[in-house]
Amino acid sequence: QVQLQESGPGLVKPSQTLSLTCTVSGGSITTSYGAWSWIRQPPGKGLEWMGVSAYDGSTYYSPSLKSRTSISRDTSKNQFSLQLSSVTPEDTAVYYCAAGLDGRYFRGYDYWGQGTQVTVSS
């Protein structure tokens, strides 16, 4: 039922801020215990969890990315967004938004967006 769709520029210049938005349909990002995450996959590498926005607006980030990452939400649009600052070519990846229905525990993600390619290049 829940569907997620990533959107944003596919090309970002080094040192700039990468900004993506996940639009959610079929469910509310404020529904109790939902967890709304950003995950990325660099070429040839595994999935890397970046951070999460919980149903109550609280956020948590990967320690390796915390200093550069911000996740926000717009409840009126049922969207949550990712900002990754000071990007380098190593930030080139496919970026996914994903949702878990019960954020009190991690039991895997119930829904995924299709992913969007973001390339960091001058």
Q: Place 63 in a pLDDT band, splitting at 50, 70 and 90.
A: very high
Q: On the CB side of 93, how many CA atoms lie within 13 Å of its CA?
A: 21
Strand partners, 99: 36, 111
At position 97, the amino acid (one-letter code) is: C
Residue 107 pLDDT > 90, yes or no?
A: no
Q: Say whether 66 sits in a helix, a strand or coil.
A: helix
For the segment 1-39, what is each residue's pLDDT rounded down to a tens digit?
A: 899 999 999 999 999 999 999 999 999 999 999 999 999
Among candidates 38, 52, 53, 55, which has minimal Cα distance to 91? 38
Averaged pLDDT for residues 39-63:
97
pLDDT at 61: 98
